[in-house]
């Protein structure tokens, strides 16, 4: 029984068969899915999905790609939505200096503001960090250490960086890339960091694991990610499923 801690169920990739995707997930042992907001409209859609499905929870935020579209009134609206019982985190927020769809200075401003809001609302954060390790780490250090601060989603750093984030109070989320043959760094991270700080995710519809690499990802496929982590750690799949589900429930406050 697994929890997909990060999916984008509102995206158009699922418009033709969303109900079947969710049905497959349930039948395949997925107990909960966290669907992630990336701007105001996406956050509204994520919340609607969580209201319609008991096993789905949602988040609200502005993704770094959309930072230059984020107005103060949008953040106020998201703050109001965050009081809903099915909203379990503020995210996905962070920095992306690989694509740079929004200017870096705008990303930094919106990232810092959203961290402040999440802190005020006592919500964990979901962090996007691509080609921005130093800046993300420096900013999160300024926010201080704590327990269950949030999660570094789709982790792409090395083991030392993962342990540094863990010391600050963040979980590390392992995506389907861990199944890729040449993804040696994330394989090492998944095999070496403490199991009590690992989450699993799909980032659906992106980053489908082997044997579905190159196709649309969906929550059911988090099974392949968990299976690979179990192989790397030389333990049973049940141990990985139990631990990562417990971690997700503790972080997101899921009953």
Tell me, letter by letter, the H, E, C secondary structure of 132-192.
CHHHHHHHHHHCCCCCCCEEECCCCCCHHHHHHHHHHCEEEEECHHHHCCCCHHHHHHHHH
Domain of 39 in residue numbering reads as: 2-252
* Predicted confidence (pLDDT) per residue in 112-124, tens digit: 999 999 999 999 9
* Predicted confidence (pLDDT) per residue in 138-193, tens digit: 999 999 999 999 999 999 999 999 999 999 999 999 999 999 999 999 999 999 99
What CATH code is carried by the domain that includes residue 203? Answer: 3.20.20.140
Question: How far is the C-alpha of 255 from the C-alpha of 250, rounded, in Å?
Answer: 9
Number of separate domains in the chain: 1
Question: How far is the C-alpha of 59 from the C-alpha of 228, rounded, in Å?
Answer: 27
Q: Which helix (H) or strand (E) holds 232?
A: helix 222-233
Q: Which pTM was predicted?
A: 0.97
Q: What is the DSSP letter of 208?
A: P
Question: How far is the C-alpha of 66 from the C-alpha of 106, rounded, in Å?
Answer: 10
Question: How far is the C-alpha of 139 from the C-alpha of 228, rounded, in Å?
Answer: 32
């Amino acid at each position: 029984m697994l929890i997909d801690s990060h999916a984008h169920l509102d995206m158009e990739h699922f418009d033709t068969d969303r109900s079947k995707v969710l049905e497959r997930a349930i039948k395949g042992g997925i107990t909960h899915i966290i669907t992630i907001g990336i701007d105001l409209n996406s956050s509204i859609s994520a919340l609607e999905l969580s209201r319609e499905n008991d096993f789905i929870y949602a988040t609200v935020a502005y993704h770094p790609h959309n930072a230059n579209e984020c107005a103060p009134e949008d953040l106020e609206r998201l703050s109001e939505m965050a009081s809903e019982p099915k909203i379990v985190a503020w995210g996905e927020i962070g920095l992306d200096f690989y694509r740079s769809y929004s200017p870096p200075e705008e990303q930094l401003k919106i990232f810092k503001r959203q961290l402040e809001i999440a802190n005020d609302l006592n919500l964990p954060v979901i962090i996007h960090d691509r080609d921005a390790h130093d800046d993300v780490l420096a900013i999160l250090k300024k926010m201080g250490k704590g327990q269950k601060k949030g999660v570094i989603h789709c982790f792409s750093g090395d083991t030392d960086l993962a342990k540094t984030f863990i010391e600050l109070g963040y979980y590390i989320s392992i995506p389907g890339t861990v199944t890729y043959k040449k993804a040696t760094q994330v394989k090492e991270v998944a095999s070496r960091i403490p199991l009590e700080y690992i989450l699993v995710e799909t980032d659906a519809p992106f980053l489908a694991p082997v044997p579905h690499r190159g196709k649309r990802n969906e929550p059911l496929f988090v099974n392949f990610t968990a299976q690979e982590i179990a192989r790397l750690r030389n333990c049973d799949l049940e141990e990985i499923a139990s631990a990562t589900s417990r971690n997700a429930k503790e972080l997101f406050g899921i009953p």
